[in-house]
Amino acid sequence: MVSRVIPVDPFDLVIFGGTGDLARRKILPGLYRRFVAGQMPEDARIIGAARGEMDQAGYQAFVGEAIAEFISEKKRDAETVAAFLERLNYTPIDARGEGGWDALAKMVRKEAITAFYFSVGPGLFGDIATRLHKHKIATPESRIVVEKPFGRDLESAKALNAVLAESFDEHQIYRIDHYLGKETVQNLMAVRFANVLFEPLWNAQYIDHVQITVAETVSVGGRGGYYDKSGAMRDMIQNHLMQLLCLTAMEPPSKFDPDAVRDEKLKVIRALDAVPTENIVRGQYGADGDGPSYVEDSEDPESRTESFIAMKVDISNWRWKGTPFYLRTGKRLKARMSEIVVHFKETPHSIFDEDAGSHANILSIRLQPDEGMDLRVTIKEPGPGGMRLVDVPLDMTFADALGPEAADVPDAYERLIMDVIRGNQTLFMRGDEVEAAWAWTDPIIEGWITRGDKPKTYDPGSSGPEDALMLLHRDGRRWREISA
């Protein structure tokens, strides 16, 4: 396989929260990998900005440690790391006051592409945006990158959009949902729209139902404070699973261009039905020998926040009426596994004996681990003795098909940061899209609060509460096994 690295123009990237956890784990190691791939032009520069006092050497040491921790030894020889660190600088900044902004203004080049990554809590988005504008650091071509959570309901999301809009145009705002940067998620669009095979069947006439699962083994330990105010609905469904649903369900856009794609996603969100209570199962993990329960992790013995959710979602449009989308996500489950699985309908009539066996086609798109796709088709079981049918995988594991290099897929953040520099918003959420997602989510959460609903306890290492299985059983369907 020939890997193609498309160079980008010179840039200055300022990371607010440059010493924070996200910067350390994802953004800086991601930039290092792009540097190794040869994608960073000679004079591209990265400026960390945060509250603490630190000089350039101090920041270089901090980033060097992050690289040592998050980049495998094979990919980091001392010389390359040193060359990368040369690109880094640091400036202390007071996001809520005036300190540090003039110094930042002097550091940032006006003639380069400038991008400002808000790797900070949403409470600071407005302050930073306003000061970038006021101190004339940002130009009309600058980009700002904002992390999730983008609000915690429709009202707060609207307020955030409004405060950003005071200083930046929509074409400058990059709202990150890192699931959109995952390789297989983009592949879903390639499979749907670059092949003639699937699209004619991609509707309620041929698809029985769709399952979207994002299962994690991790607990919320260490981030209980944030998580407890959020829960699986706000943390995962409103954004990541919603985006996966949109890309699966949307109409073909006329072009692979930011507004064409985002217009189609928005139409899907607006076509989602309100979800009745009986179509949602919420869960909270209990304790086991390997770890504490959710309430212990959250440090609130009364917590009613869900660490698991399963729901049946109906889309009211011509393409999907009658084909449910089942969404499921949770912490401390059996395995780390994310996939979108499209279950096709059975053939309308079988010409074979009943005991030959019949199998509906299944297309599964695996986001992690082992990114790839698998289409199950029915064939004749080899050998004499009549027609016996068996379903076999048409496996499209990238590493097998494209060589081992393909298994080394870039992290979602790498791809997305480079898209910011290129000025490509296709894989970022538009303001109206985020608001529409909250407009659908809010009444669900309000319903739980009004009724005082409690989540069901589930065993860590399981597939979630029993009721989640029933959600499909009662429709005569079954969840796919959660397995790595």
Residue numbers annotated as active site: 240
**Burial label, 352 (beta-carbon count in 10 A; 0-12, 13-18, 19+):** middle
Q: How far is the CB of 177 from ligand BG6 (least distance, A)?
A: 8
Q: Give the residue at shortest CB distance from ligand BG6.
A: 235
Q: How far is the CB of 338 from ligand BG6 (least distance, A)?
A: 6
Q: How far is the CB of 224 from ligand BG6 (least distance, A)?
A: 12
The nearer residue to ligand BG6, 148 or 152, going by C-beta atoms, is: 148
The nearer residue to ligand BG6, 91 or 238, going by C-beta atoms, is: 238
The nearer residue to ligand BG6, 64 or 224, going by C-beta atoms, is: 224
Q: How far is the CB of 26 from ligand BG6 (least distance, A)?
A: 9
Task: Please name the residue that has the structure tokens 């082992």.
Answer: 370
**Sheet with 337-344: strands ordered across:** 389-397, 372-380, 362-368, 337-344, 207-215, 325-330, 308-313, 280-285, 456-458
Name the site residues for ligand BG6 (rule: CB under 6 A).
Answer: 148, 216, 235, 338
142: CB partners within 8 A, 6+ apart: 114, 115, 116, 132, 168, 172
CA-nearest of 314, 317, 195, 189 to 261 is 189
Compute the C-alpha angle 134/139/145, nearest 5°.
Answer: 90
Cis status of the peptide bond prior to 369, with omega within 30 of 0: yes
Number of other CB atoms surrounding residue 67 within 10 Å: 20
Q: How far is the CB of 179 from ligand BG6 (least distance, A)?
A: 7
- Strands (DSSP E) along 23-86, which ranges? 45-50
The nearer residue to ligand BG6, 172 or 338, going by C-beta atoms, is: 338
Element (H, E) at 155: helix 154-165
The nearer residue to ligand BG6, 89 or 243, going by C-beta atoms, is: 243
